[in-house]
Amino acid sequence: RAYFVGSPNLFAVDLASQSLALRIDGNFTGYPAVANGFIYAISNDVVSASGEMWRLQGRSPTSHACRARCPRA
């Protein structure tokens, strides 16, 4: 799948079938990221993390410093 923001909604396209796989109406900006089964997207200056079925998992204001620690292999 390819994920993108199309002013102002969030979309996913199934590349194999070339069909729309997901549309979330909102006020999204920037570029979504996908990692470990979650979609991360900015909406109204808040980073939202959601699962594939777009069930909200968490939010973090973009004005806060984000720090992440990656596990060592």
pLDDT at 68 over 70: no
The H-or-E segment that residue 19 falls in is: strand 19-24
Measured distance CA(13)–CA(65) in Å, rounded: 31
Sheet containing strand 2-6, edge to edge, reads 2-6, 9-14, 19-24
pLDDT tens digits, one per residue of 16-28? 999 999 888 888 8
| Residue pLDDT, tens place only, 17-67 | 999 998 888 888 889 998 888 888 888 878 777 765 555 556 666 654 444
Kindly indicate the confidence band of residue 14, based on its pLDDT and cuts at 50, 70 and 90: very high
